Each structure stands twice: as C-alpha cells, then as structure tokens.
Amino acid sequence: MGVDVIQLKPHQESFYVIVFEKLAPLSAVVLCEGHSDAEVAKRILQKMESEGVIGGISLKVGFTDVGGRDNVPTMLDAILSLTRSSRRLKDIVVVIDGDEYSVDDRVKSIVDSLTSRGALIEGLQRDDMSNQVYISRVTVDRRSLRLLIAVNGDYSMPYKRRCLEDHCVKLMGRRVVEGVESSKQLVSVEECLDHIEKAGAGRVCEAFHHIYRVFQIMLSETTG
C-alpha cells in the first residue's frame, strides 16, 4: 500500500520507455512548470502520506517538469495523445505559476490552448475549497480524463509576479520587504524543501493549500 512516485523524463527517455514502461501503470500524471515545482510537489505528496494525511491508498503517480511555462500546453497535449496506452490513467494535474496573471486568466490560457489543439473541455469550475484550483474534464479521441489545475501564487502579497516560492515564503515566515518584485528574491527552493521536510504536515498543507487540495481531490476520487 502507498503512493508510488514515478519521475517522467520526456526530454531524456525514449518514447518506448515513457509509453510502455512508465505511463501505462499510472493512475495520475502531475505536470509542473519547472524542476523546482516538480520537486516541491513530490515532497508535499510524500509528506501527506508519511504523516497520515492520506492513508490506505495504493496507486502510482507520475511527475514531470515541462521546462517552462510556454511548454505546458504542448506537453499536456502530448500526454493526452498517449492516454490510449494507459487505461488506468484517470487524472492529469497541472501545477503552474500565476506570474503576472490572475488565477482565472492563467487557467483560461491553458484551456484555450488545449481547445485550439482539438481537445474538448467540459464542466470547468473553480473548486469550492481552494480558489486557486480548477476542475474539468478533457476529452481527446473519445478518451475522457479529469483535468485538475493548481495555480501557484500568494495573491495577498504585493508581488508583481506570482510563483511557487510565494508559498515557500509563507511556510518559512519570511518578512516581505517593500519593493520585492518576486519571492524568488527571498528564498531558494533548497531552503523550501528543507522546511517542508522539517515542518508538520498541517503547516505545509496550509502554506501550499492549492497543491494540497489538488492532491486531496486526486487521491480521494482516483481511488473512489
């Protein structure tokens, strides 16, 4: 029993390995904008499991970083096109920075990009428990999956660009001085991973509420 985290490396591994060895047994795939996002998201899921926030579950979850914001729609489209080889796959999770956009606009950009590539998006709605999580269904070649989108960013702070590190600052209790354009100026991902390791699951889930919530949905309903 447990959550088995599998790292997908589409830029390094062969098509055969991705499709027939790694994608086939997965229940969910988590696409992250960059390497830092993927490492933090994996650590949060592992934290949730190790401290009993989730339990009694047995499934495989693949993580990959797409190498930048502009690559998210392309990689998502590629994963969707391969879903016929994985009948177990039920969820695709996207974790992406808000940058200079609102949550709604960030989500809309992903949805519009998928629609322009021929995907059918239905039932798009904001989650009741986190206003930075959206839920929908996406259909490609008559194969329907749930699409969960989590947008990084602390919109209560005066940053010009919203990113994953906003939540690291919150977890670490760092003071935000006037004039800081991005939380990346205040904290490193290495520091953030260390604090996630040392902090209790409750504090981690509060700071990264959107990632916690999207995993909560994924785990509860993937196994339901």
For residue 166, pLDDT over 90 is answered with: yes
Residue 162, in any domain of the structure: no
User: Nearest to residue 6, comparing CAs of 76, 83, 60, 73?
Assistant: 60
Q: Where are the beta strands (DSSP E) in 39-181?
A: 58-65, 91-97, 120-126, 133-140, 143-152
Confidence of residue 14 (pLDDT cuts 50, 70, 90): very low
Residue 196, in any domain of the structure: no
pTM: 0.88
Which CATH number goes with the domain that contains 138?
3.40.980
For residue range 73-127, what is the model confidence (pLDDT) as tens digits? 777 777 776 666 667 788 999 999 999 999 999 999 999 988 888 888 999 999 9
Q: Which is more confident, 141 or 11?
A: 141
Residue 184, in any domain of the structure: no
Residue 169, in any domain of the structure: no
| Sequence-ordered list of residues with C-beta below 8 angstroms from that of 20, at least 6 positions apart, any chain | 85
Q: Structurally, how many domains does the chain consist of?
A: 1
Confidence of residue 18 (pLDDT cuts 50, 70, 90): low
